[in-house]
A and B are shown apart, each in its own frame.
Chain A
Amino acid sequence: MITLTHYLVLSGILFSIGLAGVMRRTNLLMLFFSTEILLNAVNVGFVAVSKYYGDLTGQMFAFFIIAVAASEAAVGLGLLILWYKRNGSVDLTSLQMMKG
């Protein structure tokens, strides 16, 4: 029997993986993947809790997040391609203009 706890544990694991990726990776593309993992970890949590309470709001919110993530990925990838064309690299270390 798969209970709510299982879903939430899965969501937590996914979130940790995403967070680790965000913190550790220097490749911008990988960062994007990590962000997607983060967002979907949250989605899993939302949907599971929604199902558990029988309240559709959580599932509705998950759709919103998917839509936002899709548009974010579209814009982000566009910028990424431009950056690659200009610099020949998508490494984060090349992006240090805002140094304090």
Chain B
Amino acid sequence: MEKYVYIALFAPLLSSLFVALFATRPKILFMGILASLLIGASMISSFILLFYVNAHGALHVKMMDWISAGNLEIPFGFVVDQVSVIMMVTVTFVSTIIHVYSIGYMDHDKSFNRFFSYLSAFVFSMLILVMSDNFVGLFIGWEGVGLCSWLLIGFWYHKPSAAWAANEAFIMNRIADLGMLMGLFLIYWQIGSFQYDIVFASIKFLDISIVTTIGIFLFIGAMGKSAQFPLHTWLADAMEGPTPVSALIHAATMVTAGVYLVIRCGDIYSLIPHIGFAIASLGAFVAVFAASMALVNNDLKRIIAYSTLSQLGYMFVAAGLGAYWIALFHLMTHAFFKSLLFLGAGNVMHAMHDELNIKKMGGLYGSMKATAILMSVASVALAGIYPFAGFFSKDMILEVAFNEGAYFLWFALFIGAGMTAFYSFRLVMLVFFGEKEHTKYGIHPHEAQPFVIYALMPLGLLAVIAGFFEHAFRGFVTKLLTNYDIQIAHGTEVLLIAATLGIAISGISFAIYMYSRGGFSKTLENRFCYKLLINQYFIPKLYELYIMKPFGAISNFLWQKIDVKIIDFSVDMVAKILYTSGEKSRKMQSGNLSDMLRWMVVGIVILLAVAIFYRPIV
């Protein structure tokens, strides 16, 4: 079985390195196909491992010793257990589809090969992250996906906005990674090991305040990667990258790494339920906060990005309240329908010649039937309508909140569900139905290539049926994760489901009703709450005003005053002294032998004087 672990892990690396050799060459179609095949091989291995783990339990592979210095022993080890294999299957499955999709999407891009190299490197880093059996390997993967995210957001680096967004994402993640590093140091300091099994076995013997600190620091890391408030601004700006990147990294896989971390460290968080509750509260806040921003935005990809933020909030609610398997389940179903939604948006963007304003679209159903159907399916799944995937996972999160007696969280998520339904269908209505606004701009939309649509079919299928795997999934992952039972009376449960379905359906109907009649009146746009939402609660402005500007001023001061006036000055001084004294003493070298002899005599006299008068202190 070890060989499948290595194939799953190293096929993407091989793909990345090989394709990188041709990175500067013009498009070679074969590179895209090769990368897709290698990722496909990784996916097949992951599925084989899934069946193996199901039958025989977890698999632990130690490849080699990596760092051994003093008491520090860190092996290159991988663990394929119920949680990591689910992540592996999700990541490789979505990646394979996105690789195939990208062959079509990046068709005309002159950096076609480079794109595939980065994309495969990302898959490799993500697999390291989920498969590592210790925190250091996890951190390496964590930084690796951060790097690939930076490379891919800034893929079109000639656009200043893309370069800016890439840097923003990277810097925000660095801030959070500092928290994560502190957590790791604390773990090593207190326990003396980074291995998961050792850490989780001995964490319960630690002082509760230390465990709390570790939990908080690790969650700060998770907040950065999963773009939770207040480090959330980078995710929406990350939409500057190519759409397959948004689908893979900023919806399906990388941003869920934070949730994965909390699930993986379930043994730590179950000791500190108050921190868990704080995580859940933050999650619920972000779920509503992000959904509200998605309500009014007009940028196709940003709406979906806010939706991702909001769904990550849902996952954190489940993970924070201790329902780890539910969080993981929502992570998986979300990966399917959200990447489908993004890839559909990519098709729309191509058809609209990179126009992103949904107010300028409309009536695309006529020319893009397949994409329209797939995106509608994904939207229904996102809104959480029975029997689509989102219904099962999201509804359970609401029940968890109710079960824990956190009625306020439940209510927030309930409102969030209504908003989700509304904005998803606002998007569908504005893009695919209604007036054909795009004809005014002389755009003739066309459907994507057939193989692109076929590549999306499996995602569409899973977005519909993934929810029915609930029981099998639960039985599988709860072998490792603590089981979580929802103990609500049957009558109440039915009522809750009915209420959630009710608000989702009313959100959808409201969106359909309003936008089939031409949408809201323009006067709403002058209201304060609309301005608040369209400006993202003025948070980017606040960051700019209170963090970036002062920081820029301090940097400028340090540069102009400290660096130029003191450090550079003293360094220049040394050079200047040497230069001037050289210039002055150059005249000694007159070339005249007499002068030289005289200087020689001067030297001799000085040396003699030293020899005679200098007495070393003994």
Binding site for B on A (CB under 8 A): 19, 22-26, 31, 92-93, 95-100
Residue numbers in A under 8 Å from B588 (CB-CB): 100
Contact of A97 among B586, B591, B597, B598 (CB under 8 A): B591
The 10 closest A-B pairs by CB, nearest first: A100-B589, A99-B591, A96-B591, A98-B591, A92-B593, A100-B586, A23-B598, A22-B597, A92-B594, A96-B592
- B592/A92 in contact, CB under 8 A: yes
Q: A100 and B590 in contact (CB under 8 A), knowing A19-B601, A23-B601?
A: yes
Residue numbers in B under 8 Å from A93 (CB-CB): 592
Q: How far is the CA of A43 from the CA of B554 in the complex (A)?
A: 74
Residue numbers in A under 8 Å from B592 (CB-CB): 92-93, 95-96
The listed residue with most A CB atoms (<10 A of its CB), out of B587, B589, B597, B601, is B597
Which residue of chain A has the shortest Cβ distance to B590 in the bound complex?
A99
Residue numbers in B under 8 Å from A31 (CB-CB): 593
Which residue of chain A has the shortest Cβ distance to B594 in the bound complex?
A92
- A22/B601 in contact, CB under 8 A: yes
Binding site for A on B (CB under 8 A): 586-594, 597-598, 601
Residue numbers in A under 8 Å from B587 (CB-CB): 100
- B591/A100 in contact, CB under 8 A: yes
Residue numbers in A under 8 Å from B598 (CB-CB): 23
* Nearest CB in chain A: distance from B610 CB, A: 18
Residue numbers in B under 8 Å from A22 (CB-CB): 597, 601
Q: How far is the CA of A74 from the CA of B586 in the complex (A)?
A: 34
Q: How far is the CA of A95 from the CA of B598 in the complex (A)?
A: 16
Which residue of chain A has the shortest Cβ distance to B586 in the bound complex?
A100
Residue numbers in B under 8 Å from A97 (CB-CB): 591
Ordered by A's residue number, 8 sampled pairs between the chains whose C-beta atoms are within 8 Å are A23-B594, A23-B601, A31-B593, A92-B594, A95-B591, A96-B592, A98-B589, A99-B590
* Nearest CB in chain B: distance from A28 CB, A: 8
Residue numbers in B under 8 Å from A95 (CB-CB): 591-593
- B597/A96 in contact, CB under 8 A: no
Residue numbers in A under 8 Å from B590 (CB-CB): 96, 99-100
Which residue of chain A has the shortest Cβ distance to B585 in the bound complex?
A100
- A26/B594 in contact, CB under 8 A: yes
Contact of B597 among A23, A98, A99, A100 (CB under 8 A): A23
Q: How far is the CA of A23 from the CA of B592 in the complex (A)?
A: 11
Q: How far is the CA of A97 from the CA of B587 in the complex (A)?
A: 14
Q: How far is the CA of A95 from the CA of B591 in the complex (A)?
A: 7
Q: How far is the CA of A96 from the CA of B596 in the complex (A)?
A: 11
Q: How far is the CA of A100 from the CA of B588 in the complex (A)?
A: 8
Q: How far is the CA of A74 from the CA of B400 in the complex (A)?
A: 109
Q: How far is the CA of A34 from the CA of B607 in the complex (A)?
A: 22
Q: How far is the CA of A98 from the CA of B587 in the complex (A)?
A: 12
* Nearest CB in chain A: distance from B18 CB, A: 59
- A99/B594 in contact, CB under 8 A: no
* Nearest CB in chain A: distance from B386 CB, A: 94
Which residue of chain B has the shortest Cβ distance to A28 in the bound complex?
B593
Q: How far is the CA of A19 from the CA of B602 in the complex (A)?
A: 11
Which residue of chain A has the shortest Cβ distance to B604 in the bound complex?
A19
Which residue of chain B has the shortest Cβ distance to A25 in the bound complex?
B594
Residue numbers in A under 8 Å from B594 (CB-CB): 23-26, 92
- A99/B593 in contact, CB under 8 A: no
Q: How far is the CA of A84 from the CA of B544 in the complex (A)?
A: 82
The listed residue with most B CB atoms (<10 A of its CB), out of A25, A26, A95, A100, is A100
Which residue of chain B has the shortest Cβ distance to A95 in the bound complex?
B593
Which residue of chain A has the shortest Cβ distance to B587 in the bound complex?
A100
Q: How far is the CA of A26 from the CA of B592 in the complex (A)?
A: 10
Seed contacts A24-B594, A96-B592, A99-B591; 15 additional CB < 8 Å A-B pairs = A19-B601, A22-B601, A23-B594, A23-B598, A92-B592, A92-B593, A93-B592, A95-B592, A96-B590, A96-B591, A98-B591, A100-B587, A100-B588, A100-B589, A100-B591
Residue numbers in B under 8 Å from A100 (CB-CB): 586-591
* Nearest CB in chain A: distance from B600 CB, A: 9
Residue numbers in B under 8 Å from A19 (CB-CB): 601
Residue numbers in A under 8 Å from B591 (CB-CB): 95-100
Q: How far is the CA of A26 from the CA of B590 in the complex (A)?
A: 15
